[in-house]
Amino acid sequence: MCGIWALFGSDECLSVQCTSAMKIAHRGPDAFRFENVNGFTNCCFGFHRLAIVDQLYGMQPLRIKKFPFLWLCYNGEIYNHHTLQKQFGFDHQTKVDGEILLHLYDRFGIQKMASLLDGVFAFILLDTANNKVFLGRDTYGVRPLFRLLTDDGFLAVCSEAKGLTDITHAMATPANIVPFLPGYFEVFDLKLNGKVQSIQKERFHCCTNEPAHAIYDHVERLPTSFDEETVKSNIRTLFENAVRKRLMASRRIGCLLSGGLDSSLVAATLVKLAKEEKLQYPIQTFSIGSEDSPDIIAARKVAAHIGSEHHEVNFSAEEGIQAVEEVIFHLETYDITTIRASVGMYLVSKYIREKSDSVVIFSGEGADELTQGYIYFHKAPTPKAASEDSVRLMKELYLFDVLRADRTTAAHGLELRVPFLDHRFTAYYLSLPEDMRTPKHGVEKHLLRDSFKDLNLIPDEILWRRKEAFSDGMTSVKKSWYISLQEHLQSMVNDDQMGKAHKTFPHNPPRTKEAYYFRQVFEKHYPGRAEWLSHYWMPRWINATDPSARTLAIYQPDKEQ
C-alpha cells in the first residue's frame, strides 16, 4: 500500500502543486519523496511509502541502471514477480516486486506487461526514450487511481481524488477528475513542454477470462470436468493458492474476521498456511461490534476454532456516528451502504494501527459478488440473470466494496489483501455452469460452502451461517447500526430540504434524510464532484428502497441471534 502522485505539464510552479500530494500521506507513513523529471518541463512524481517488500531499495520512482530512461511509480503487490523473473531470465537489480514491470515492458511492451501481472496494482510508467506515459490499474481496481486531464494536455494522476482537487491549471474550463477504469491501460504521447496527448486506451483483462499469467502459475492446469466433486476440489485448490501467494510480506500479517463465511474462510486458510510456511508469529484476527452483536459472537467461535490471537474492538452507535464525516472524507463517496459498512472497518483499522503491529491485513471482500452471496440473489428470475448480475457486481467493485476496503485501511497506513479477488480463482468460478452458482436449498453461496464441507476448517454453524451485512452484524438484531444512524440524522435534515432534494442534488438525488446528510458532507469536502458515483448500490429484483439486507422481506436472522 502506497500513495502515488504525478504531474505532466503543470502550468503552476511545482512547489505549489506539491502540497496536494501531501493529502494522501496516510497511504505511506514510512517515507516520502518528490522527484522532477530531467529534461521535461514541469513533470514530477510524488510518492508516499509503506514498506512491505525490500526495505532497502523500495523507494520510488523506481529506476534501475539497465533502463535509465524508465521511471516507475506504482502502488500494489505483484505476487508472481519471482515466477516471471525465472521464466524470462530477467536480471534484477533490486528485490522490489515492481521491478518486474520494467523488464516486462522493455521486452514485451505495455499490453503484454499488464496482462502478465498477477496482483493488485495502479501504475504510472514514464519512458523518456520514447516520450510516452502509461497508466494502468488491476482487474478489480483493488488499488485506486484517479486522473485529471485538461484540454491542453496537462495530466495529473493520484491514488486518491483528494490529491487532485486543489491542483491548479491554466484552462478556463474545469478539468474532470475521474477514476481510472480497472483492467485498462492508457498510453500518452509526452511532448517536450511536459504536456501529453492520449493515444490509446485498452482493456488488458476482463474478469470472465482466464488471465494470461495463469500458464506460469504454481498451480498447474486443473481438471476441466464440471463434475461436482472435481469443481469443489478445484475451488479449494485455487482458493488456497490465492491465500498462499498473498503471504509475500516482510511486515506482520493479520486478518479481519467478522464471523461471516467469507472472512472466516480467509482467516482459517491463512492460519493453516502460516503454520505450513512457518511464520514466526501467530496470526492476529480482529473483529468489531457491540457486545451482543452476531458478528462478535460468531468471530469469537471462529478464532477459538482456528487458534488465532483474537482482538475484539467494542463498537457503539455513538462512536460510529462521530466517525461518519471523517469516513466520508476518506472514502470520496456518498453511497449509503458503502458509508454504513465503512464506519466499522475504519474503526477496526484504527485499532489495528494503534494497538497492534499487524500491517498487512487479509479480508473477505469480493466473495459476495463472485459467489452470489447477497440475499437478493434468491429472487433472481433465472440462473443466467443471476450470473450476469454477478459479473456486473464484479465490474463495479471499484465503486463500492473494494473502494471501502482500500480507503478505510489506507487511512491508517495498512495494506489490504483480498484473496477472493484472485484473478485465477474468480475467472474459474465465473466459468462454471450458471445453475451451479445459484443459491440452493434456500442457502446463498451454496457451492462455496459445500466445497469446504467436512474439512473442519471452520465450525459447521459458521460454514452455513446466513449472510449478514457487515454494517448490520456489528450490532444486535434488536437494533441495527443503520437504524441508530438514521434516528440520529432525522434531526440533522429538515423536511423542507428533503422536498427540494431533487433540485439541490439533481445527480443521484437522495431519497432519505440519511442519504441527504451523507451527500451534504460529501459536497462539503468535494463540491461539484457527485459524478464520481454513477449510481447507488441497491439490491435487484425486489422493490428495495434501502440497501440493508435486514430491511428485505426475505431476511431471516439465525435463530440464536
CA torsion angle 408 411 414 420 (round to 10) = 30
Ramachandran angles phi, psi of 478, nearest 5°: -60, -40
> CB–CB of 45/10 below 8 Å?
no
Q: Are 14 and 35 in contact (CB under 8 A)?
A: no
Cell numbers given for 297: 459472537
* pLDDT mean over 306-331: 96
Per-residue pLDDT tens digits for 147-167 = 999 999 999 999 999 999 999
- Give the chain's length: 561
Is the pLDDT reported for residue 175 higher than 80? yes
What does the pLDDT read at residue 470?
64
pLDDT at 561 over 50: no
pLDDT of residue 555: 65
| pLDDT for the residue numbered 476 | 74
pLDDT over 80 (residue 553): no
Q: Which of 366, 374, 363 is nearest to 423 (CA)?
A: 366
Contact 177, 146 (CB under 8 A): yes
- Tell me what percent of the residues of the chain surpass a pLDDT of 90: 84
Q: Is 194 annotated as a binding residue?
A: no
pLDDT of residue 544: 79
Average pLDDT, the chain: 94
Tell whether residue 364 is among the known ligand binding residues.
yes
Give the alpha-carbon dihedral of 376, 380, 384, 388, to 10 degrees: -40
CA distance 62 to 69: 11
Q: What is the mean pLDDT of residues 273-296?
A: 94
For the cut 80, the answer to whether the pLDDT of residue 52 exceeds it is: no
Residues carrying CATH 3.60.20.10, the chain: 3-203
DSSP 256-320: E--SSHHHHHHHHHHHHHHHHTT-SSPPEEEEEE-TT-HHHHHHHHHHHHHT-EEEEEE--HHHH
136 band by pLDDT with thresholds 50, 70 and 90 = very high
The grid coordinates listed for 474 are: 456489528
CATH 3.40.50.620 segments of the chain: 220-555
Cα separation, 300 vs 76, in Å, equals 31
The C-alpha atoms of residue 415 and residue 57 are separated, in whole angstroms, by: 19
Q: What percent of the chain is predicted at pLDDT more than 70?
A: 96
State yes or no: pLDDT of 290 exceeds 80: yes
pLDDT of residue 560: 42
User: Which amino acid would we find at residue 237?
Assistant: T
Q: Which tens digit of pLDDT belongs to each residue from 368-388?
A: 999 999 999 999 999 999 999
Cis peptide upstream of residue 439 (ω within 30 degrees of 0): no
Start-to-end CA span in the chain (Å): 37
Q: Are 288 and 344 in contact (CB under 8 A)?
A: yes
Q: What is the CA radius of gyration of the chain?
A: 23
Looking at residue 50, what is its pLDDT?
Answer: 83
The pTM (predicted TM-score) of the whole model is: 0.95
- 18 among known catalytic residues: no
Q: CB-based contacts of 234: which residues, under 8 Å, 6+ apart? A: 222, 223, 428
**CATH class given for the domain over 3-203:** alpha beta
The helix (H) or strand (E) run that includes residue 328 is helix 317-331
- Residue 256 labeled ligand binder: yes
Cis bond before residue 61 (omega within 30° of 0): yes
Burial of residue 442 (CB within 10 Å: 0-12, 13-18, 19+) is exposed
Q: Is 58 annotated as contributing to ligand binding?
A: no
- Give yes or no for residue 559 having a pLDDT over 60: no
Residue 97 labelled as part of a binding site? yes
Query: Greatest CA span in the chain, whole angstroms?
Result: 69
Which 3-state string (H, E, C) describes 49-79? ECCCCCCCCCCCCEEECCEEEEEEEEEEEEC
Catalytic residue among 2, 44, 73, 255: 2
Which residue type is seen at 336?
A: I
pLDDT band at 524 (very low <50, low <70, confident <90, very high): very high
Give the per-residue pLDDT at 189.
98
Q: Which of 169-183, 221-235, 350-364 is predicted with the least confidence, judged by mean pLDDT?
A: 169-183
Average pLDDT for 112-137: 98
Amino acid 292: pLDDT: 82
Q: What is the mean pLDDT of residues 78-91?
A: 97
Higher pLDDT, 220 or 263: 263
Q: What is the pLDDT of residues 256-284, one digit of tens each?
A: 999 999 999 999 999 999 999 999 999 99
Ramachandran bin of 210, using left for φ above 0, alpha for ψ from -120 to 50, beta for the remaining angles = beta
Q: Is 155 helix (H, G, I), strand (E, B) or coil?
A: strand
pLDDT confidence of 558, banded at 50, 70, 90?
low
Specify the CATH architecture of the domain 220-555.
3-Layer(aba) Sandwich (3.40)
